[in-house]
Amino acid sequence: MKVLIADNSGIIPAINYGGVERVIWGLGKELHALGHEVVYLVSAGSSCDFAEVLIFNQNEDLNTQIPDDVDIVHISHTPLYNIKKPCIITMHTNPPKEETLDINTVFISRNHASRYGSSVYVYNGLDWNDYPTPILDQERRYLHFLGKAAWKVKNVFGAAKIALDSGNKLHVLGGKKWNFRNIKRGLRYVLSPRIIFRGMVNNKVKMEIIKHSKGLVFPVKWHEPFGLAIIESLYAGCAVFGTKTGALEELITPEVGYTDNNSVNIAKAIKEFDYNPRRCHEYAVQHFNAKVMTESYIELYKQVLKGENLNTEAPKYIDQENIIPKFN
């Protein structure tokens, strides 16, 4: 099978955080290992030693950029295209309420799919060979937050409150200490010596920091479609403490973390949790690896190549399924 993977999120392999870029890198690598031919249509500056790389041109019709001998096209969360080749689209985010999606749209969690009237999803997986092996029996001294702190829905100040209430320091990865929003809404956390802002960090620095962390504090205030920060933290041996929104409840089992929409309850759980870094690590390795993800996508490729649609009708936002519980 010859598979074209199309995405213009950023260059591959990822240099810094690179969420979607890491997912499609692992997908292509596993497809290649299983004997399939892979072509990437991605951002300028990309390179790959196991697949051909073509440069994605947003100003040209996507059909003209697809090689004639490709069997199937796999697109990442792009606007609806009229692709002439067999095609699936992985939706990595929450699309606009008014948007009708392609009938061959794949979501990235059960909750994500259900909010658009679909049951078709594949969990994200990562190539853990790209990550350092964590030391699972060392002392862990603090908590961490991982994400784009500038996004209000990521709730970095909620994470800071929970960490302080639980008696812990918090390392914030992905957020600047001094900006207008922090001064206006979170000055007391910015000034706290127990909240350490680390800014945007590359993968090596990120993993070095979180391997000393007891847990990820992730009190998001939106329906998170998946959350790569969750599985990266679990891989590093960290428990995860988050809200009951989006995919969090299905990813965070009681053995590896805790979910609640009350900050007091989350802080209490952090104090009382039975931390087991090895259990967290093995859970991530077993369930959220690139090979498992790729094998699931191959089954969907086969379905589409037989002329079958993945969804019975085009997915669309369902209002009654999208109420976000209040966080306090």
Mean pLDDT taken over the chain? 91
CB neighbour class for 235 (10 Å; exposed up to 12, middle 13-18, buried from 19): buried
Query: For the residues 148-154, what does the mean pLDDT come to?
Result: 84
Comparing 12-26, 31-45, 187-201, 288-302, the range with the smallest average pLDDT is 187-201
Residue 289 tokens, joined: 């690896």
Go through the domains of the chain in sequence order and give each one's CATH number: 2-127+291-321 (3.40.50.2000), 130-286 (3.40.50.2000)
User: Would the pLDDT of 178 be above 50?
Assistant: no
Q: Is 21 left (phi over 0), alpha (psi -120 to 50) or beta?
A: alpha
What's the pLDDT score for residue 180?
A: 47
What's the pLDDT score for residue 235?
A: 98
Task: Assign 18 a pLDDT band (cuts: 50, 70, 90).
Answer: confident
Query: For the residues 158-170, what does the mean pLDDT come to?
Result: 96
Q: What is the pLDDT of residues 103-129, one digit of tens each?
A: 999 999 999 999 999 999 999 999 999
Q: What is the pLDDT of residues 223-245, one digit of tens each?
A: 999 999 999 999 999 999 999 99
Alpha helices in the chain (DSSP H): 19-33, 110-114, 156-165, 180-185, 187-190, 203-210, 228-235, 248-251, 263-272, 277-287, 290-305
Question: Who's near 61: CB < 8 A, 6+ residues apart?
Answer: none
What's the pLDDT score for residue 322?
A: 55
Task: Assign 80 a pLDDT band (cuts: 50, 70, 90).
Answer: low
Q: What is the pLDDT of residues 179-229, one digit of tens each?
A: 545 555 555 666 688 999 888 888 889 999 999 999 999 999 999 999 999
**At 39, which amino acid appears?**
V
User: Would the pLDDT of 260 be above 50?
Assistant: yes
Distance CA 224, CA 133 (A): 27
Reported as half-sphere exposure (CB side, CA atoms, 13 A), residue 59 has a value of 0
Query: For the residues 35-41, what does the mean pLDDT come to?
Result: 98
Query: For the residues 148-162, what does the mean pLDDT come to?
Result: 89
Dmax of the chain from CA atoms?
Answer: 60
